[in-house]
Chains A and B, each alone.
Chain A
Amino acid sequence: MTLKIIVKGKAKGKIMKSNNPINFLGAVDKKTGIIRDNKHDMFQKSVKDVILVFPHGIGSSVGAYTIYSLKSNGSAPAAMICTKADLSVVSGCALANIPFILVSQDDYDSLTDGDEVTIDTEAEKIL
């Protein structure tokens, strides 16, 4: 797997994989980490402590603050993996020190929802 590491770090957790992009400001509760957009395929699930795998961020530029707030409130994902970069997600992860990785579409497709994985950006590996 070829990883493009944007924010370094180590993380361990269960993959929560979505087929839909995420508008963090509109769709995620910044206190609890629960997805509140009833049109989203992860509606009512929480992003807390998971390895969040989704295509990319969309929408509001303030979504970066939502990610920072999630971290401050102890409800942030352990790491995020996307195929495309959205500056809200990238900068939110950079400020909150949440490991953030870009992967190719093929590698994205090989990640399975529910799998327990360990991420080590120094070793450039998802195990």
Chain B
Amino acid sequence: MELTKDEEAALKGESGETLQLAYRILVATGEATDAEKLVPIKWAHVSGVNYNTIGDAGEEFLSHLSKNAKVKVQTTVNPMGYDIDNVSNYNLDEEFIKKQESIRKSYEKMGTIPSFSCIPYEIFDLPEKDTQVSFAETNAAIYVNSISNLKTNKESAFSALASALTGKSPYSDLRKDLDSPNLTIRMKLDNPNELDLGMLGFFAGKIADSSVRISGVNKMDRRSCKSLCGGMGTSGRCGKFILDDKDADSEKVDFDKEEMKKIYDELNTTDSSDLITLGSPQLGLEELSDLTSMLKGKSFKKRCMIFCPRAIQNQALKLGYTKELERAGCEILSDCCTCLTPLIDKKNVDGVTTNSIKGAYYLKNSNGVDVNLKPLSKIVEEETK
């Protein structure tokens, strides 16, 4: 990879330890993806904010880094471990809160926007088409590449952080206009709901390379789009999909009932649950509005945790959704998400019902709880009175 004189000097450490570290990461990721140079980016979205995922090593790394580091471009951050307004309702120890607060402060010191959201594309104004950005959170990287016409690598927590500190990122394939995926997935199911599309994403992620074409899917609503992106990000390294019904010259694989059942059987591990979670990715305003309408005159028979960004929760409060949702038995949480939450523990919870494929994978593998998968319509139909 070709570096400018300034980049070369920074890599050697002439601009300080922080930038040397950042360039070391950018050069490694650039070399690994055959990028010929670094390009400027306008917006970084970093992951690695939740103490539950990054642990003591991550907390100490950020605390040290933030002493001398400042972000150079608009930088938003992923969810953390809890909502400070209601954390006392959950059984979380003091140590966790202390470490999480340290992480929050480290990011604040570096100049990031305290968004604590995995759906930055839904709560911030988007830059113009083809703008280069650097998004770590996998659902967000796939979403902005595929739906919002922005360009990002499927960044990692460290590569997006390095982009935030330098304003640059390797010019790898996903940043270029190379819209010719070598694989087409033919969706064979009619009228799929968001759960079906999440499973399609999970299936596609498993077999696709860095991008994939999907045929047989017409317009998706936002819920379905987010579900597909979340599923795809969980199972693979694919960072972009293109919806296209043209008969492309590429390998073709069908996603039919049989394939869907395999994914369902892999992720659905129980038929019963004592908790419902909605949100992974976090819910946006349309989804809260929909849910409010669906729950009219009904209430949940078991606990239901809803995760959304704080900005959305503030709007929902003003619009009266919060009151309605709480009446129906929902616990609404900001700044955190189902995915890798420390608030769901196998000591207290046996099974979780959710419509999130991403949530299902991590609930099972990280939290160790069983998962019951259902689309939202069925959750409302079967789990309310």
A residues adjacent to B (C-beta < 8 A): 4, 6-7, 21, 23, 25-27, 30-31, 36-37, 39, 56-66, 68-69, 71-73, 84-88, 90-95, 100, 102
CB distance from A79 to the nearest CB of B (A): 14
B154 partner residues in chain A, CB cutoff 8 A? 61, 86-87
The segment from B27-35, B181-189, B290-298 found at the interface with A is B27-35
A87-B154, A91-B159, A94-B24 given; A61·B53 CB < 8 A: no
Chain B nearest CB, measured from A44 CB (Å): 13
Q: Which A residues are in CB contact (< 8 Å) with B25?
A: 91, 94-95
Alpha-carbon distance between A53 and B33 when the two chains are bound, in angstroms: 19
Q: Point out the residue from A6, A37, A57, A73 that lies within 8 Å of B28, measured CB to CB.
A: A6
Report the bound CA distance from A88 to B50 in whole Å.
16
Interchain CB contact under 8 A, B54 and A69? yes
Contact among B32, B53, B158, B162 for A25, CB-based, below 8 A: B53
Q: Within the assembled complex, what's the spacing in Å between the Cα atoms of A62 and B58?
A: 10
Q: Is the CB of A6 within 8 A of B32?
A: yes
For B47, the chain A residues whose CB sits under 8 A away are 60-62
B366 touches A (CB below 8 Å):
yes
Cβ contacts under 8 Å, B266 to chain A: 39
Interface residues of B in 54-95 (CB under 8 A from A): 54-58, 60-61
State whether B57 touches A62 (Cβ < 8 A): no
CA–CA, A10 and B23, complex, Å: 22
**Closest chain A CB from B29 CB (angstroms):** 5
A27 to B361, CA, bound (A): 10
B284 within 8 A of A: no
B153 touches A64 (CB 8 A): no
Additional pairs, 14, CB under 8 Å, beyond known A25-B366, A61-B141, A65-B57: A6-B31, A25-B340, A31-B55, A57-B237, A61-B160, A62-B47, A69-B55, A73-B57, A84-B237, A87-B32, A87-B155, A90-B32, A92-B156, A94-B29
- Cα distance, A105 to B110, chains bound together (Å): 41
Q: Which residues of A contact B24 (CB under 8 A)?
A: 94-95
Does chain A have a CB within 8 A of B137? yes
Chain B nearest CB, measured from A98 CB (Å): 11
Q: Counting CB contacts under 8 A, is B365 at the interface?
A: yes
Q: A91 contacts B48, CB within 8 Å?
A: no
